[in-house]
Every structure is written in C-alpha cells, then in structure tokens.
Amino acid sequence: LDIEFAITRNWEVVIFQVRPLTAVKPHSIKKLESKIGSRILACQKQATDLTKKSRTNNQTQIFSDMTDWNPAEIIGNNPNVLDYSLYDFLIMNKAWSLGRKNIGYHDPRNQKLMIKFGNKPYVNVESSFDSLIPKNINKKLSKKLIKYYQKKLLENPHLHDKIEFEILFSCYDFTLDKRLKELQKYGFNKNEIGTIRSSLIDFTNNTVNKFPEIHAQTQKATHLMAEKRELLNKNTEKMENDYFSLLRVSENLLKDCRKYGTTQFSTMARIAFIGTILLKSLVREGKISHIFYDNFMNSIETTVTRFQNDLELYYRKKLSKKKFLDKYGHLRPGTYDITALRYDQNESFFSKTYPINHTNSKIQFKKFKIKSFKGNPLNFKTIDFLEFVKKSLIQREELKFQFTHNLSDALEYIVLATEKLGLSREEIVNLDIKTIFNSYKKFNKTKLKKVLKKRILLNKKKKLLNDYLILPPIIFSRRDFEFIQYYVSKPNYITSNAITAKIISLGEKNESPDLTGKIVLIENADPGYDWIFTKNPAGLITKYGGVASHMAIRCAEIGLPAAIGCGEIIFDYLSTSSKIFLDCKNHQTMIVENKENDQYTEERKVLKSLGYIK
C-alpha cells in the first residue's frame, strides 16, 4: 500500500489517502514478502553478530556506505558479485590496513573493513576508527576515543562521509587545539587531551620526515608493477585458446596489483589526506585565502592533465590514436565492472570528444614557510610544505592510474578465458573472484564449466532477491533495516565559482553524450570517467564522494565548479530539474528550471522507494 499521511504537533496521525500499488496476485506478494522478510532477519542477525565482536564492547556498531574507503562511490550501491569481490580482494581485505600500519597507525589485526548486507556494501566504522588512531596512543585511551567517535557520529549521522574532517583526530592540523576542547564534554581529562595532542604532533612529524623515503619506495613499486605487467602481457600472445594460462596471468596481475599497487596506494592516499587536512585547516584559520587554495590545487598536474594534453596532441595530429590508447586505453567507466567497455574498446570515445578549454594555473608558488605560523609544532625541514601536499596528491593519482591498469588487463584475460568456457561478461559478473581462481586449478574444462554455471545461477538468484531490499546509507541498529532514513548531506564544494547551466544526468557507463556547457549529474565516478573532462562540462555534481575523492581532486585540478557527495535527497531533488544554479563559494545549489511536470512522478518515487521499480 501507498499511504499518504501527516503527523501533527500533538503526534496525531492524519491519513490523506490509501491505495494499492500493484496488481500482482496476493499469493505472489505473500510469497515474495516472506522471502524478503527472511533476508531482513538474516541481515539483522549478521549485524548483531558483528556487534558482539566489537573491540570496545560497545552496544552500538555502525556501518556506513560512505565512510573512509566509501564503497558506494567506488563500486556503487548495488554492485555485482565480481565487482564487490575484486574491491575486497585488492583493497578492503588487507591492503587498506597494511598501508596505514606502514606510517604508524594502529594495526587493526587483519580486520576486514568492508561487509555486505544484501547486495549493499558498507564500511565497518569501528574498524575504520581503530585504524586511524596513531599507534603511540595506548589501548585504553584508544578505546575511549573510538567510543567518542561513535557517539559523535550517532549525534551527527550526516557527517558519515566527512569523518576525517569533522569527527576524527587522525593527524595534527591548525584547528586541532580548538577541536580538542570538545573532548572535555565527553569525559576526557586534561592529561588525556594533552597525550592525544602530543601523539598526533609526533605522528604527523614522523610522517612528514619519512615522506621522501616513502615517495621513493612507491615510485619503485609502481615501476616494478608496470614492468611485470608488460612481461605478463607479452607472454599471453600465444595463449589465445588456453583458458588455464589466461586465468593464471589474470591472477598474477591482480596479486601484483595488490602487492605493488593498492597497498602503496593506501599509504599514499593517507599521506595525501594529511596534506589536504593541513591545507584546509589553514583556510579555516584564515592563514591562507580560498583563492590561494583554489589556485594552488589548480596548479597541480596529475594524470588527468597529461590525459588532456595528449588528447589535444591527438586532435592536432601530433599523437597517433594507437599511442594515445596505449597510454589510456585501459581506463573504463566503472573500474571494477567487467561489463563496462574500456576506452580502447569503445568506438564512440573519439566521436564526441572535443579539445579541452580547462587549463591549469600558471602561478608559480614560492616556498611556503609554514614554520612562521605562531605556535606551529610541525617540522618541515626535509621538504617544503606545498611540495609535500603536491607530491603526495600526484603520487596518489599516479598509483591509482597504474594499479587500475593491472586490474583492467586482468579483467580482459578473465573475459578471454571464460569465453572458451562459453560464458559471457554478463554471466561472469555473478562470480566471486576467489571462486574463479580456486576453481580453474581444481577441475578440467568440462567440470569447470558446470561448476561455474551452477555458481552463476545460485548467485543470480540470490542477487535478484537482494535487489528488493531497500537499505539506508548508515546503520546504527537492527531497527534501521526496517525503517529507512536518509540524511541531508553537506556536499563538498570545489572552487569558489558560481554558474547557472542546464543539467544532464549520466547513467549508462558506455554512453558518450555531448556535455559541453552543461552541469553533469552522476551517482559516482572513478578514473574511467575522466573522459567527462574532455567534453567541456560547465560543472559536476555527484551523489557519492568525499572531499578528497577522485572527482574532487580532478575538479580542483582543472578548476571545474563541483558539488561532490550531495547524498540521496539532494541528488534526487536536482534530478527533477532542467537548469540549476551552482554557487560553490556560498555552498548553495538551487533549481532554476524544473522539467515538464509529470502526473506520475510522485507515484514512481513511491514505487522506487519500495523496490517495485528501478
């Protein structure tokens, strides 16, 4: 039933109308509802079991789709089995924690960061909090900090995609002393607050001083991964009909990706976060201006700048199509999605791509004397502060570019191998990567095909049922599986520009529409969506994404106005419009023109929220 009602100030319920939503036969509904009810109960039990394993013995265990490694942004709200398993294999199982341990954070002892309720991926927030406490803070004080973080998130659920800027004390920054005062309200004494402060200062200084060494190590690992990839690719030229060898190459590419790519990326992403936090705290404290910050970010040249420059050379006939695709052909919109075509497989990629208007700032930044700020305890003797921020961001993006190359090639070898078994891309998305790699060594070709087919059918059936589940962005208790709440998010605004333009919603991963002069609306985007910037959009708005996410860095680099991570409510509201006003300086997004009224819009919203339609 669709029930429209209101609640008065006296808590009286006033019903406006009640009507049936569908003409499905009652016995069919009853059978389906019984299955869905069982899945909800299973999810609730899963959450309860995980809460019992809490390190802090806390009654509240929190799960979020946008905290920390934000799975909703990277693999989406309802990923395929293969997408989820690849993200877990490459990052969320071990690499995420090893990368943090390398620079002095707590070792979370092989805790898994990501779990799945139904088809929806979540981050175990307690594991995230635990992994972002410097190891020089003792166990007792760490537990107290985790409980404080959990309580603050419980009081401010809309901050679940901004925990590192609004909730955590993961490094020293120039707002730290003001923020630490809040701990007194939560039962922390002066000695404990002093210990936290000095620990964060030591941790940050150690990270800064070790950065040149870490930077050199990551460059070495990146080169080694590229060399090994080139050798593996060269050896596959004679394997076209050998599914076993193709799968073995794929497995080796993914293992190299994790060993030399994602683990180092986890480390560098954290260091880049520290640099970003420091820089933003200088803006908050009024020590540098928003204009200085925007110009500095616009001066950074990462892989997207090279991509744009090379595309310009291609248009001017100074770079061949082959050489361009040799560099960038591995990118695909949906990095973990095997059904998404790579740039070198998508014939329409060049057909509607235009020379780029956006250019990087030519401002040269002198050495930035961070030590001149009063009371600053940071030690930047071995490296200039702005150079530290710039190099960490550039290296982070380079690592991502390189490890996604391994991943993309590995996916294509899986496609080639499984084609020999009579399986399509659309079928193998229903297979877990571990199932693929464990099975091909155990069985002959005939048996392997039967085993994989059986697993595909089983996972398909399970996913179809889970598709009916509507789950919230953040889970605090069993009740959240039954009563779905959405919180109004605060978008991360990039640049200080204001624009008014028509909007275009980007849905299909293999489409290539004309984006010139339009504000692009997209749920989530990864390196494979960098083609967006070659089409001269006026701005960008995403449903998912944090302040230091891929698209946030990209937009800052080219000076593109953007609202990153606006959440379900704002995003769905903007999707009903045809023209909007995006004011990044004043943090506003307003509808200027609505689409043509549709008498069934509200009905469709209700049906979608209940899972009857997509």
Relative orientation angle of helices 550-558 and 303-315, to the nearest 10 degrees: 60
Tokens 């910050």 identify what position? 293
Q: Measured between alpha carbons, how far is 168 from 179 in angstroms, rounded to an integer?
A: 10
Q: Measured between alpha carbons, how far is 244 from 413 in angstroms, rounded to an integer?
A: 10
Q: Which amino acid is at 402?
A: Q
Q: Measured between alpha carbons, how far is 444 from 15 in angstroms, rounded to an integer?
A: 63
What contacts 524, CB < 8 A, 6 or more positions away?
A: 72, 73, 74, 76, 542, 543, 544, 545
For residues 413 and 347, is the Cβ–Cβ distance under 8 A? no
Read off φ and ψ for residue 521, nearest 5 degrees. Answer: -105, 125
| Catalytic site includes residue 405 | no
Residue 520 pairs in a beta bridge with 504, 540
> What six digits make up the tokens of 249?
């190459």
Q: Which amino acid is at 2?
A: D
Q: Which amino acid is at 577?
A: S
Q: Which of 158, 405, 550, 587 is catalytic?
A: 550
**CA dist list (Å): 577 to 350, 565, 580, 591:** 29, 18, 7, 6
Q: What is the CA radius of gyration of the chain?
A: 25
**CA dist list (Å): 43 to 351, 475, 594:** 46, 11, 39
HEC per residue, 105-119: ECCCCCCCCEEEECC
The three-class DSSP label of residue 316 is: coil
For residues 252 and 407, is the Cβ–Cβ distance under 8 A? no
Q: Measured between alpha carbons, how far is 472 from 157 in angstroms, rounded to an integer?
A: 12
For residues 113 and 124, is the Cβ–Cβ distance under 8 A? yes
For residues 492 and 547, is the Cβ–Cβ distance under 8 A? yes
DSSP E strands, 527-587: 539-542, 562-564, 577-583
User: What would the DSSP string read from start to end of 121-147?
Assistant: EEEEHHHHHHHTSBTTS-HHHHHHHHH
For residues 541 and 574, is the Cβ–Cβ distance under 8 A? yes
The separation between the first and the last C-alpha atoms of the chain, rounded to the nearest angstrom, is: 18
Tokens 């609004």 identify what position? 166
What contacts 4, CB < 8 A, 6 or more positions away?
A: 15, 16, 17, 18
Q: Measured between alpha carbons, how far is 328 from 321 in angstroms, rounded to an integer?
A: 10
Q: Measured between alpha carbons, how far is 312 from 345 in angstroms, rounded to an integer?
A: 20
**Residue whose C-alpha is closest to residue 100's, from 171, 34, 44:** 171
Q: Measured between alpha carbons, how far is 413 from 418 in angstroms, rounded to an integer?
A: 8
Q: Measured between alpha carbons, how far is 145 from 133 in angstroms, rounded to an integer?
A: 9
Q: Which residues are identified as catalytic? A: 550
